[in-house]
Amino acid sequence: MNLTQEEWVSQFEADENAVILDVRTEDECNQGIIEGAINIDIHKGQEFVDAINALDKSKNYYVYCRSGMRSAKACEIMNELGIENAYNLLGGVIEWDGDLV
């Protein structure tokens, strides 16, 4: 599901079962990530799929990348792998108003 930044943040902040997932490359993450995010690089192919499969499927995942394109694809993959609640950040980190660490 695609959410605007405002929707994504307000839903995440109210969600006690939330996990932030950054699907960018390690180099991109080194330029700053949203605080508390875990990184699983979507470009890693089967390694990405295996890592997603290992996640707790009962959690709600708030997914982002640089522009929102890879994270949208990641959400589709997550849905196919049985994670029902994956929320894509529209516009990605390049439109992010919040802090990066």
Looking at residue 50, what is its pLDDT? 98
Question: Would you call 29 a catalytic residue per the annotation?
Answer: no
Looking at residue 85, what is its pLDDT? 97
Looking at residue 31, what is its pLDDT? 94
DSSP for residue 51:
H
Catalytic residue among 21, 52, 65, 74: 65
Q: 2-95: which CATH topology? A: Oxidized Rhodanese; domain 1 (3.40.250)
pLDDT tens sequence across 48-58: 999 999 999 99
Q: How far apart are CA 42 and CA 92, in angstroms?
A: 14
Provide the pLDDT confidence category of residue 72 given band limits of 50, 70 and 90. Answer: very high
Whole-prediction pTM value? 0.97
Average pLDDT, the chain: 97
pLDDT tens sequence across 21-42: 999 999 999 999 999 999 999 9
Buried-state track 61-95, b at ≥16 Cβ within 10 A, e below 16: bbbbbbbbebbbebbeebeeeebebbbbbbbbbee
